[in-house]
Amino acid sequence: MSDTNGKLASRLYPSHIDIPANVRSQVVTLLNQTLAATADLKSQVKQAHWNVKGKDFYQLHEMFDEIAAEVEEYIDMVAERVTALAGYACGTVRMAAADSILPEYPTDILSGEEHVTALVERFAAYAKHLRTAIDKADELNDQDTNDLYVEISRTIDKRLWFLEAHIQVSEVKSEGMVKEKASVN
């Protein structure tokens, strides 16, 4: 977390919730890290949506838009969990940019395969973050936050699968593992 966001990311307000403040502070910090990554992921998917070119343009354009809408729902869910724990949700674009775990989206790509590859890399990093957060929320005995992370993780893994399916054939071919189809007369 950036210095400024770090203080905000763990800020707590008075609450009657029965989770100790020291636990809530740790969970809220974790959730704010996820909020930054989720907002960044959504913006990167939209970047692909706007800039994809090539023979699969329409299919990918539509899929990227659908994925971005799904990820946007998670932004709200994560931010609302922060505030339910009496924390401060660090959700501006600038906050997300400062604290996201994701690498910057490449600006020199156009083809559908290049955009899918870039998104696969980001979804894999995000999925890894979610699994770490699942374990941390469990360790802190916050089963509601754990459940939120598990729900998001399932969908992110499914989306990663969908994205990878677009590039796996070319990856396998480049490794010499796919046999040419026999011609049918």
Share of the chain above pLDDT 70, in %: 88
Question: Rounded CA gap, 106 and 20, in Å?
Answer: 42
Name the CATH superfamily, with its identifier, for domain 4-166.
Answer: Ferritin, core subunit, four-helix bundle (1.20.1260.10)
Q: Is the pLDDT of residue 172 over 80?
A: no
pLDDT, tens digit, for every residue of 22-79? 999 999 999 999 999 999 999 999 999 999 999 999 999 999 999 999 999 999 999 9
DSSP annotation of 18 reads S
pLDDT, tens digit, for every residue of 119-168? 999 999 999 999 999 999 999 999 999 999 999 999 999 999 999 999 98
Question: Rounded CA gap, 157 and 76, in Å?
Answer: 19
Q: What are the residue ranges spanned by the domains of the chain?
A: 4-166
What own/partner pairs with CB < 8 Å and gap ≥ 24 does 1-5 have? 1/29, 1/32, 1/33, 1/99, 2/95, 2/98, 2/99, 4/98, 5/32, 5/36, 5/90, 5/95, 5/98, 5/99
